[in-house]
Structure 1
Amino acid sequence: MKKPFDLTGSVGKISIYNMRGFDEPIVRRKGGPTKKMVKNRASFETTRRNNSEFGGRAHIASLVMQILRPMKYVGDYNLAGPLTSLFIPIQVLDTVSEHGERNIELTKNPGLLTGFNLNRRTPFTNIITNPISYTLSKEKLSATVTIPELIPGANFFPQEQFTWYKFISILGVVEDVFYGARGYKTKAGYPLTPGYRVIEQTGWFNITPKSQAVTLTCSFNASPAEVIGSTEINNYSCLLAIGIAYGSMERGEVEMVKYVGGGKVLAME
């Protein structure tokens, strides 16, 4: 819905609502088949299979989003849809299971998530143009991220209205998702917990003509079996993310400004 119109809610057979990442309200038409029709009619068999597989992709996407949750306020749009779509080519790699029951084994091609951006307006690579050095070990569950020395206007392009910034690095474990009697689940069989990620961040820096290089180290200090809770599970990938947040001075302290900054999945293994 284009301006100057500015309303949300239901009007007749349409719904109007706001969505983060869009400047104007979104308009959609109500209607379509009922849940009972989709669940029971033979004509919706393909729809049921598609819905089942979508549920599997949504499940593993939720695991990734929970790992990235500490960077929630760095992003500027809803990640759920685009992230869920990224798992389609991974799901079709399962050529053994039937349609509707295909597994999502990220371990078969974890690189598909590398470079996934948390921002549309200000991608991380537009803020810091130099490559970010890193190490990542799936076996040791450890990683390092090194941000080079930054020179505004040369390799560092922060938003002009902010004078404070900090870096956040996350190392997380993402398990593959398999179809079973109770739908899609991980082999461990329980929901992801905060113990599946390690967060490191710098203090707040003031933007200066030149800043020194910074290294962040993330390590679980535990074996994969201890982190996942089983010695028999090898179906996991490691996700390494990097983000930059901006801050403003409020009442003598720097506070993070929400929904500005930049972040991305730096590497997967």
Structure 2
Amino acid sequence: MAYLKGIKFIGGLGDVTAYTMKGSDKIILRRKGGASRSRIKNDARFDVLRRYGTELGGCSVLGKAIRIMFGPHRALADQNLCPVLNQYLLPVQRLDTTHELGRRSIRLSQMPQLLAGFSLSKKISLFESTIRSAITARIDREALSAHLDVPELLPGINFHPLEDQPMYSVTAVLGIVPDAAYDEQQEKYVVSPWFDTMYAPVMVSTAWLPSGVRADATTLAVSLPRRPSAAEFSLMLSVGIRYGMFLGDGTVQQARRVGAAKVLAMG
């Protein structure tokens, strides 16, 4: 992979394409080449490649639903989550031995713990390096609820916030994640039919707290108002730490793209 330095442009130039990628401030160069899009789409010799491409598209469909269920924690991500989530979902898809290649389902509900620990940051340990004492969680699948226990936070001991951020808040988001399968009539991957915009993630948080002051242990409780009509779903509890600063009117404004978040538990 090549990078531009000094000269900057985006787009195609001859047989080279320049583009940017979320999470990097560099301009990436890629040489054009390979089979044409039309040939890949129609040539029988590319049938297996098309099937793998279809399945990757299915992972992206489910990955979109997962990203929605991160709710406000998406603002704490410092990388493009789509390809990272695909790396987690492709192994789930390969477990489907019932359907043929290109039609295999993604039954995350059969092994939801696969996503536990998933980091929204490029630096996987960013959250743990900020809050160094364990945050424990309890998920009640029947009640569609979760409880998250945040320990006492002692700056410089088990709590290491960013030095230039005066305020922080610990947040928890509970969301419901569907499965995904190939729909023969629509000829594409779709998420479970019960899943719609009514299934929104719910967030709870501590108050805004000064970063340099000890904070008491606390418990955050969160629940979802609506149960799916099918049993094939996963509950996803993510935890985050966001930063902010006081405004002139006494309110706190959250800092953009600053903080950390991860999937704490699945159920």
Q: Distance in 2 between matches of 1:260 and 1:186?
A: 31
State the distance in 1 between where 2:168 and 2:14 align: 47
Cα separation, 1, equivalents of 2:146 and 2:163: 31
Match of 1:188 among 160, 179, 193: 193
1:18 Cα deviation (Å)? Answer: 2.2
Residues 33-72 of structure 1 correspond to what in structure 2 (within 5 A)? 33-72=35-74
Q: Which amino acid aligns with 2:215?
A: S
In the alignment, what sits opposite 2:206?
A: 202
Shift of 1:4: 3.9
The one of 221, 230, 233 aligned to 1:217:
221
> 2:78·2:120 contact (CA, 8 Å) conserved in 1?
yes
Amino acid in the other structure paired with 1:79:
L
* C-alpha distance in structure 2 between counterparts of 1:194 and 1:171, whole Å: 14
1:29 corresponding residue in structure 2: 31
- How many residues end up aligned between the 2 structures? 261
Which moved further from structure 2: 5-14 or 111-120? 5-14
- Residue 95 of structure 2: aligned partner: 93
CA–CA distance in structure 2, aligned partners of residues 39 and 3 of structure 1: 36
Report deviation, 1:216.
1.4
Q: Are positions 1:141 and 2:144 aligned together? A: yes
Q: Give the 3 Å change call, closer, same or farther, for CA 2–39 of structure 1 in structure 2.
A: closer
Amino acid at match of 1:128: I
> Unaligned 5+ residue runs, structure 1?
none
CA distance in 1, matches of 2:217, 2:198: 29
- Would the aligned equivalents of 2:105 and 2:181 in 1 still touch at CA under 8 Å? yes
In 1, the alpha carbon distance for the partners of 2:122 and 2:133 equals 19
Distance 1:4 1:63, change over 3 A: same
Following TM superposition, by how much is the alpha carbon of 1:180 offset from its aligned partner in structure 2, in angstroms? Answer: 2.1
What is the deviation of 1:159?
0.8
Q: Paired residue for 2:168?
A: 165
- TM-score, structure 2 length as denominator? 0.91
Q: 1:34 to 1:110 in 2, by over 3 A?
A: same
Alpha-carbon distance, 1:153 to partner: 1.2
Query: Identity percentage over the alignment?
Result: 34
Contact 2:61 2:191 in 1 (8 A): no
Matches within 5 A, 1:6-25: 6-25=8-27
The residue number in structure 2 matching 1:234 is 231
112-121 or 15-24, larger mean C-alpha shift: 15-24
1:125 counterpart = 2:128: yes
The alpha-carbon deviation at position 132 of structure 1 amounts to 0.4
Q: Does 1:248 align with 2:245?
A: yes
How much does 1:24 deviate?
1.8
Cα deviations by residue, 1:63-110 (Å, 9 ceiling, x for unpaired):
100111311221111111111111011011111110111000001211
1:10 Cα deviation after fit: 2.7
Q: What secondary structure, in the 3-state scheme, does the structure 2 residue paired with 1:169 have? A: strand
Once residues 203 and 34 of structure 2 are traced to their aligned partners in structure 1, the CA distance between those partners, rounded to angstroms, is 43
CA distance in 2, matches of 1:136, 1:147: 15
In structure 2, the gaps of 5 or more residues are none
Contact 2:71 2:173 in 1 (8 A): no
After superposition, give the CA deviation of every residue in 1:146-196 in whole Å (9 maximum; x if it has no partner). Answer: 211111111111111111111221111111111221222233255x42533
Which digits, 9 at most, give the CA deviation of each residue in 1:46-74, with x for residues without a partner? 01111111111111111100111311221
Please, which of 110, 113, 116 is the counterpart of residue 112 of structure 2?
A: 110
Q: What is the CA distance between 1:36 and its match in structure 2?
A: 2.1
Match of 2:182 in 1: 179
